[in-house]
Structure 1
C-alpha cells in the first residue's frame, strides 16, 4: 500500500491539513497518509529540511513525501518532484532539498509543469496532491515535469572550516520542542577536522569541552541524588542524527528554561569549535 507523508507549516487550527488529506483520499482511497509535522515555523525552510532529513529514512522505499513550506508558485519559486535515496519528494524549489542532497545525490529531478491544467491558489492541495497520487499509482516523474539538474541551496546550512584547520564555525539550524539547540556541525566533520585534539565549543555565553552520546551520560549516577548536579546542567551531545546539540538536562522551556533561552541562542546564531591547545 502506498504511503504519502505530509510536512507543512499549516498548524492544527485551520482547515488546510484536513483539506489536503481529503483531496488525497478523493484521488486514491487505498493508501496511507502519515503526518510528519504541521508545526514547522512559518516559511522556515531550514527547519523543514532538518525535520525531513531525519524523518524520511524511517519510511520504506517508495514513500512519497509532500512538503508544504513556502510553496506558492512564482517565477523564483518553482515546484519540483524528485527521487532521492529511493524516496519521492514533492515540494517547492526553495532550498529544502539541498540539505538532503549534500550527502545523497538525487536520482532524478523534474520541474513540475502541470499547472496549466489546474486552477489553484493552494498548490499543496491541488498540484502537490495530483503529483503525489500520480507517483503512488506507479507513474513516472517525466509525465508531470521536465528534467532539471540543479536545485536551489539553502544559505547558511554548511559550516566553515578555517584555513589553518583548527576551527569550525557553524550555526544554529534548529531548536526543538525542549529548547535544545541543534547546530549544522556533524560528527564526521568534527572528527575529520579535530583529529582527536582537545576542543572548546563556544556559543554566546556557553562553553563546552566535552560531547556526550546521550543526555544521561552527563550525570554522575554514583553521586547521591541530593548532591548530584542534575537539574539545569548544561551539556553538548551528538544527537540521534549525529549533529552537535547544546542542551539543558531535562529542560522545560516553560518553567526552568532551555538551552535556547538560557544560552541566548536563536536560529542562525554562530557556534564555534576551536581545536588544539585550549586556554581555559
Structure 2
C-alpha cells in the first residue's frame, strides 16, 4: 500500500509538458469540436492523472504512448470521457422548465411529441423534461412524448440508462416529485431508482455532435444547454444551423443562459433568456 501512495504522490508532482497539453487539445478538438483554452493545463493534468492512476502508468508520455498504441481506440474514448465536463442537475435553470409548463405544453394538446436533449450527461435534463410533461398531462389530455438523450461520454450515458441516482442528486427536488417518480433502494450510501414510466420515455444514445446525426426530425423541442460554451464560434454556428434543420416550424431551441445564438438570429426569435423559436 505504501508503494501506491508514494506513486500517487509522485504523479501529482509531475509537470504536464506543453507539447503533451497541446496534443491533447488538438485531439479533442479534431474529434468532437471541444476547444480547451490556454491556461487549462491544471485541469487537463488532473483529469489525465485519473487515467494514468487507473492504468498504473508512470507519467504523461507513457500514457500518451499507450493511448496511441491502443488500436481499439477504447483508451482515447476513455480520455474523452474524463476531459468532457459533466456538470448537471435535475431542473437546472428552472426558468426553462417553467416556460415549458406555462407556454409550450398548453399548445400541444393531443399531440405526439419528439424532444431532444443534446448533451444530456447522466440524464438529469431529459428526466426533468419527462417529469415536467407528465405533471401537465392531467390538464392537457392524451398524446405522447419521446425524448432522445445523447452525449459523447459513455460513462455518463450508463448512469442515465440505469436510472439510479445517488440521494444527493435529488436535493432540491420537491418531496412530492421524489415520492412520485423515484423509489429508494436498500443500499448504502442511499440511492434512488427512477420510475419505469419515466425511463421508457427516454432513449439514450452516444453521439458526437461534430459528426453526422443519424436521427430524423422534426423535433418540437431541442435542448443543448451549457454545451456550446466548449466550442469555438464557427462550430457553434454550424450546430445551431443543424438544430434549425431538425426543428419543426415554431419549434423551440433551448441554450444555456451563458450562451447565445451566434449568427443565426434571423431564423430564430428570442422569446425568453436562452429560449429561441424557429421562425423560418
Fold agreement, TM-score > 0.5: no
Higher strand share: 1
